[in-house]
């Protein structure tokens, strides 16, 4: 078990970076003309994404020169998640870039720290509402310093769920089948536009269920926050043998414990897994 004081210091460092990056992106949107571009012709990226990414990764490199970094904008090499020999930081400078570009408040800075493929520390900061979620392994989860807990939902029919959809529209049929099954068997859907906040909202009881296919930088920090808030975290599909489950982004399912098993069955059947 890692030194708890060390992990708390890591979380404090991650929170400080997230708060400063959050102020950077808030100020950039409110005070300057928004500059945008596209990655791979489909995915929106703003100048603020790159600025915040460079700030966070630069600070990590300076303090921990031997650590590796997996970040969405400047170092999006997913093979980093498979190399478990040295500590790994997983960074999303703006989760919810489309929301950011359109002036919506559901935007987050996400910073996670992993050792041996296991996420030990996570911070998700939403700069516009001023909400900071954080967790350190085995020490619980908080929102602005106050402990948080999942909703306690125990019936899918009475549960509010969230999911998302990819920028590329080539293979939407499986996602639509899952959505059709869920919308018929749950209370309602919320499409928030930030995976990190979706998961944190499960952690604090604003949502009951979240599922999606996403990248490690979208969910790594929030997944630990939900886990430390008592939610059940896992997958409705299979995790490849030898791959760290904490960083596997396909078929993620995070929910209040009482609905996890029935929802997993709904999603597996809709996906043709059983």
Sorted by sequence, the CB contacts under 8 Å of residue 115 that are 6+ apart come out as 2, 87, 88
92 is in an annotated binding site: yes
Spatial neighbors of 144 by CB under 8 A, at least 6 apart, are 130, 131, 132
Tell me: is residue 94 an annotated ligand-binding position: yes
Q: What angle do CA 185, 187, 193 make, to 5 degrees?
A: 105
Environment class of residue 199 by beta-carbon count within 10 Å: exposed (0-12), middle (13-18) or buried (19+)? buried
Q: Is 208 annotated as a binding residue?
A: no
CA distance 208 to 154: 9
53 annotated to a ligand binding site: no
Per-residue three-class SS string for 25-47: HHHHHHHCCCCEEEECCCEEEEH
Angstrom CA distances, 85 to 68, 80, 82, 137, 214, stand at: 10, 10, 9, 19, 24
Question: Cβ neighbours of residue 59 under 8 Å, at least 6 residues apart?
Answer: 17
Angle among Cα 269, 169, 103 to the nearest 5 degrees reads: 110
User: Is 218 annotated for ligand binding?
Assistant: yes
Binding residues for Mg(2+): 72, 92, 94-95, 218
Binding residues: 72, 92, 94-95, 218
């Amino acid at each position: 078990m890692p030194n708890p004081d060390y992990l708390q210091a890591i979380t404090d460092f991650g929170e400080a970076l997230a708060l400063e990056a959050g102020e950077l992106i808030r100020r950039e949107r409110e005070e300057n003309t928004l500059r945008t571009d596209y990655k791979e012709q489909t995915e929106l990226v703003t100048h603020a994404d790159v600025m915040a990414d460079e700030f966070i990764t630069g600070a990590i490199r300076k303090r921990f020169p031997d650590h590796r970094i997996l970040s969405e904008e400047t170092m999006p090499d997913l093979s980093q998640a498979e190399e478990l020999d040295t500590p790994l930081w997983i960074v999303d400078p703006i989760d919810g870039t489309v929301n950011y570009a359109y002036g919506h408040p559901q935007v987050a800075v996400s910073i996670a720290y992993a050792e041996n493929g296991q996420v030990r520390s996570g911070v998700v900061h939403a700069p516009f509402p001023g909400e900071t979620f954080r967790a350190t392994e085995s020490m619980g989860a908080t929102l602005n310093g106050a402990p948080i807990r999942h909703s306690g939902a125990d019936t899918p029919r009475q549960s509010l769920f969230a999911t998302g959809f990819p920028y590329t529209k080539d293979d939407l049929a499986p996602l639509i089948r899952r959505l059709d099954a869920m919308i018929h068997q749950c209370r309602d859907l919320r499409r928030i536009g930030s995976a990190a906040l979706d998961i944190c909202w499960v952690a604090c009881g604003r949502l009951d269920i979240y599922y999606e296919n996403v990248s490690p930088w979208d969910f790594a920090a929030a997944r630990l926050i939900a886990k430390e808030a008592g939610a059940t975290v896992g997958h409705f599909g299979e995790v490849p043998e030898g791959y760290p489950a904490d960083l596997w982004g396909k078929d993620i399912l995070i929910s209040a414990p009482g609905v996890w098993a029935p929802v997993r069955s709904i999603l597996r059947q809709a996906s043709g897994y059983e």
